[in-house]
Amino acid sequence: MPPDIHAPAATPFPIKSVRDRFPAIARAAPFIYFDNAGGAQAPQTVLDAVARQLLDSNVQRGARYAMSMAVDEMIAGARSKVACLVGADDPDEVAFGMNATSFIRLVSLALGQTLSPPRDEIIVTDMDHHANISTWQELTKTGAKIRWWRMREDKALHVEDLVKVLSDRTRLVAFTATSHAMGTRVDVAAAATAAHAAGADAFVDCVHFAPHGLIDVKAWGCDYLVCSGYKAFAPHMGFLWGKRAALERLPTFREEFIPDAPPHKIEAGTLVFENVAGMAAAVGYFESLGVDVAPLETSPRGRIVAALGAIEDYERTLSRAMLSVLSDAGARIHGVANANLAHTRVPTFCFSLPGVTPADAAQTMADADIGIRDGHMYAPRLMERLGLPLETGAIRASLLHYNTLEEVARFGEVLGALIR
């Protein structure tokens, strides 16, 4: 029997209070945000932190007056918050910057200088965002060799397949924690363990996973991890976490007066301070949700763990409901389609509709005040694997924990009308 989309979530989730914290939701109503994989909305606390930064200390860091020292303190505080979010002990392992792509480039350019045979192979996947593929492929110009960890027909990456590609030639494995196009989760810990067993580093693209689940760099054992703040309730910015020893070894470009130590050797020029302040507040948002769902939890990390546990539970309910309406509409779901496997995905759905182009489907949804996306999702390799033309691609509806079952039902109505 298909899951009842009106059934209550297994764990009560404070959806009303969550939605109340995101002013953009009420401002845009009745618009439905189902394009969250392109960027999430920001809670009021993040907006306040950005405004506060611009109002109270919009000056350069590093001087002796109070306002400038406040900027230094804000950045240090933000590093600690993000370290807590990813489960790291050392705030200096966190670097802030423009976005995830620029950090992938920074690490690949640096690592490229250290590659030499026989350890000159980089493993990439055919499920990743192109930023985490093409950037590594670029290194072939200076002698690197690319090996592929390919997804299986079940639209998942299996670590057994990675093990077959790993060897004593592998320098690094670059892979996503979760497919931004299809929502499939990857066993990051097992992949990092396999990479290390072969003497290679593990580079994790956590951009899509970050708003959906708990990041734990210690449990995962990865060496590098990138995130985009704007996918995780912060403003447009990105951050890189790396093991201190790995970052220390990276030969990054820096002016001679910049210390050859993380985080400064990883950060180029002046940060967008207000966005860094917003990122810290986004971590605070997870903590505040943790207070709601686990009032007895007192540690910041414990609250983040509780919040993301509740988010994962709630999002599974959304996933099951989406799978139900998509299968009712006869959609070809590219990704995990079995509701019993909802725990192996996040509520990001890539699909095609018989007889309807992705562009027409997205336009019809837009006309009905539902924001979704059509196209190649910046994943040309994946489109090729799925047998979809790059020009038209697929349809993607991507939900976050501020979405509701009522919104899924409305999406289902428009979908139903579309295929009739």
Chain residues binding ligand PLP by CB under 6 A are 99-101, 129, 131-132, 176, 180, 205, 207-208, 228, 238
Longest dimension (CA), the chain: 68
Q: Which of residues 41 and 176 has its CB atom nearest to ligand PLP in the complex?
A: 176
C-beta of residue 227 within 8 angstroms of C-beta of residue 196: no
CB of 100 to ligand PLP, least distance (A): 4
Q: Which of residues 208 and 345 has its CB atom nearest to ligand PLP in the complex?
A: 208
Sheet holding 373-375, edge to edge: 332-334, 348-352, 394-398, 373-375
Residue-wise DSSP of 146-178 = EEEE---TTS---HHHHHHH--TTEEEEEEESB
Q: Rounded to an integer, what distance in angstroms lies between the CA atom of residue 215 and that of residue 206? A: 8
CB of 183 to ligand PLP, least distance (A): 11
Q: Which of residues 205 and 407 has its CB atom nearest to ligand PLP in the complex?
A: 205
CB of 228 to ligand PLP, least distance (A): 3
Please name every residue paired with 240 in a beta bridge, in sequence order, or none if there are none.
95, 226
CB of 238 to ligand PLP, least distance (A): 5
380 preceded by a cis bond (ω within 30 of 0): no
Q: What is the rounded radius of gyration, in angstroms, for the C-alpha atoms of the chain?
A: 21
In the numeric block, the tokens 């950090």 are attached to: 103
Q: Which of residues 99 and 404 has its CB atom nearest to ligand PLP in the complex?
A: 99
CB of 375 to ligand PLP, least distance (A): 12
In Å, how far from its chain's centre is CA 256? Answer: 34
CB of 105 to ligand PLP, least distance (A): 9
Q: Which of residues 212 and 410 has its CB atom nearest to ligand PLP in the complex?
A: 212
Q: Which of residues 102 and 167 has its CB atom nearest to ligand PLP in the complex?
A: 102
Quick one: how many helices (H) and strands (E) in the chain? Answer: 15, 13
Q: Rounded to an integer, what distance in angstroms lies between the CA atom of residue 85 and that of residue 298? A: 15
Q: Which of residues 203 and 411 has its CB atom nearest to ligand PLP in the complex?
A: 203
CB of 301 to ligand PLP, least distance (A): 24
- List alpha helices for 270-388, DSSP H: 273-293, 300-328, 358-367, 380-386
